[in-house]
Structure 1
Amino acid sequence: MRHLASRQSLSKASDALLSNAATLDDTGLGALGQDLSAVAGALSKAPSLRRTLSDNTTAADAKSGIVAQLFGGKVGSAAAKVLDVVARSEWSTGGDLAEALYQLGRIALFLRAERSGELDAIEDEIFRFGRIVDASPNLSAVLDDPLAQPADRAALVARLLEGKAHPLSVALLTELARDPRGRSFNSGIGELVTQAAARKDKLVAVVTSAVELNLEQRNRLTAGLVRVYGRPVAAHVVVDPQIQGGLVVRVGDEVIDGSVAGRLTALRSKLAG
């Protein structure tokens, strides 16, 4: 979400969600997440409605009334309160509004996992599945094929994860397969991992190593990254023997290449120049 107004509105809606979620049990949080995701899905199929709700020349009360008329009685009271905040806020585009609702739905579901102490494991499962997809060109091609039936893509992901992942991981990944919303599947996975980490104010670091790291090495690596960035860090390690040694660390758009292969490439470039 690139637009400042939309980011500010998402922040306000997130605060409203967290306020309403404070009194909900696990069942209520699950229902809140599902309600918001369902409304997001409905808006994604209704471009004229998205334009109306993101038209900042339309009075906030009018937009709130439209949302209440369309979704009142179809969602729970907590979701209705969040939707009212969303309807009254300013959005740069209708796409931003729909994307915000998807993100809000995930916040509710991640909050439920956070309360149960399962969030870190779910984040790691989603990341690991992304690596599996990335390592399989055929699977990646199927999941990114716009001509494939959404239900078939979702069923494929469900079969691959059956009995191997947390139900929330399965639900989020099958939803992504069904509707990637114009992104590649792995790009969507990256967003899921980042949003899960953000629940604990963590940065996501993807660390490529030539060999598998043991627990002590992973802990030292994470501690070092925390010192560098001054924030908690969720470090996900990928093993790639082709880097020959050392580590490559990617945090957002920043890449720290301490690999043997990277240093050799830099040396060859220096000699050639």
Structure 2
Amino acid sequence: MTDFHGTSREAVATLRQRVRGVTGTPAELVEAGQQLFSVVRLLDAQPVLRRALTDSTRTPDDRAALAGNLLGARIGAQALDLVTAAVRLSWPRTRQLIDALEEVGALVLVRASEEEGRLDDLEDALFRFARLLEREEGLQLALTDPRIPAENRATLVRELLAGKAPEGAVPLVEQAVVAPRGRSLTEALDAYAKLAAGWRERLVATVRTATPLSAADQDRLAGALRRQYGHDVHLNILVDPGVLGGLRVELGAEVIDGTIASRLDDARRRLAG
């Protein structure tokens, strides 16, 4: 997601706290998240409107009233409350408001999965779908082809994920498909997955292994990483036949390579040196 700075970072922190207070059933939260994404798409397409909603010469109350008049009949009370809270804040650049609303919409969908007790499933669904797209070029082309109507691409997402992911995951993937906002589809999905992990203040590690890890092995690895980094760590496990024994763990910019292939490469370098 966007890396906010200064005033905008403080504004986003305020909105995140407001999201933590949002209540409702998972279905209600999914609806609110979808509505916030619809506002993001509207503001992306309407530069005059987004300038009006971030105009520092207007009072915060004026901006909130404008948002209420324009959107009150289009979105529900939960989504509208978050939009009006956002436009009351100060945004040095108009597009920061849209970026913030996208993040808020995504976090409301994260909250929906949290209420379902399926936040781990949400992170896994986003990660796995992104990796599927990397393998299946035809599917990625179908979901990113601008000649195919956006609703048709969204329908394909719903069909692919039906019964396989938490409620909150589907609109996140739909948003990445129909409005990636300058990112590749996999970049957008990975950004949402990291946002979900950050909601619980934990890190995300991609683990490559030649064979599946047992639940006990995953728990031991997560515990070791937690002790090393001082945060809970969510593991995304990739079974990769190209890994010759051991594990390769990627956590942010850091790589912990304990594979046989890596050790052989080290040995060759020492012999050559």
TM-score, normalised on structure 2?
0.87
What one-letter code is carried by the residue in structure 2 that aligns with 1:107? L
1:35 corresponds to? 35
Q: 2:26, 2:167 within 8 Å by CA — same for their partners in 1?
A: no
Q: How far apart, CA to CA, are the structure 2 residues paired with 1:37 and 1:62?
A: 23
Shift of 1:56: 4.0
Q: 2:207, 2:236 within 8 Å by CA — same for their partners in 1?
A: yes
SS at match of 1:131: helix
| More moved, 10-19 vs 217-226 | 10-19
Describe how 1:103-114 pairs up with structure 2 within 5 A.
Answer: 103-114=103-114
What one-letter code is carried by the residue in structure 2 that aligns with 1:6? S
Aligned residue pair count: 271
Q: How far apart, CA to CA, are the structure 1 residues paired with 2:144 and 2:177?
A: 8
1:3 corresponds to? 4
What one-letter code is carried by the residue in structure 1 that aligns with 2:3? R
Describe how 1:152-231 pairs up with structure 2 within 5 A.
Answer: 152-231=152-231
Q: How far apart, CA to CA, are the structure 2 residues paired with 1:96 and 1:30?
A: 23
RMSD over aligned Cα, in angstroms?
Answer: 2.4
Q: 1:243, 1:262 within 8 Å by CA — same for their partners in 2?
A: no
Shift of 1:143: 3.1
Describe how 1:96-135 pairs up with structure 2 within 5 A.
Answer: 96-135=96-135
Match among 15, 30, 41 for residue 17 of structure 2: 15
Shift of 1:163: 3.8
Q: 1:37, 1:105 within 8 Å by CA — same for their partners in 2?
A: yes
SS at match of 1:248: strand
What one-letter code is carried by the residue in structure 1 that aligns with 2:4? H
Cα distance per residue 1:49-102 (max 9 Å; x no partner): 223333445543332232122113433333332222210212243332112112
SS at match of 1:243: coil
Q: 1:3, 1:92 within 8 Å by CA — same for their partners in 2?
A: no
Cα distance per residue 1:130-158 (max 9 Å; x no partner): 12111223323333444543233323333
| Distance verdict in 2 for CA 1:82–1:171, change over 3 Å | closer
SS at match of 1:105: helix
| Distance verdict in 2 for CA 1:148–1:78, change over 3 Å | closer
Shift of 1:190: 0.5
What one-letter code is carried by the residue in structure 1 that aligns with 2:207? V
Q: How far apart, CA to CA, are the structure 2 residues paired with 1:28 and 1:137?
A: 35
- After TM superposition, the runs of 4+ consecutive aligned structure 1 residues lying more than 6 A away are none
SS at match of 2:168: helix
| Distance verdict in 2 for CA 1:26–1:132, change over 3 Å | closer
Q: 2:248, 2:256 within 8 Å by CA — same for their partners in 1?
A: yes
Q: How far apart, CA to CA, are the structure 2 residues paired with 1:248 and 1:226?
A: 16
Cα distance per residue 1:198-236 (max 9 Å; x no partner): 222221111111221111111111111111111111111
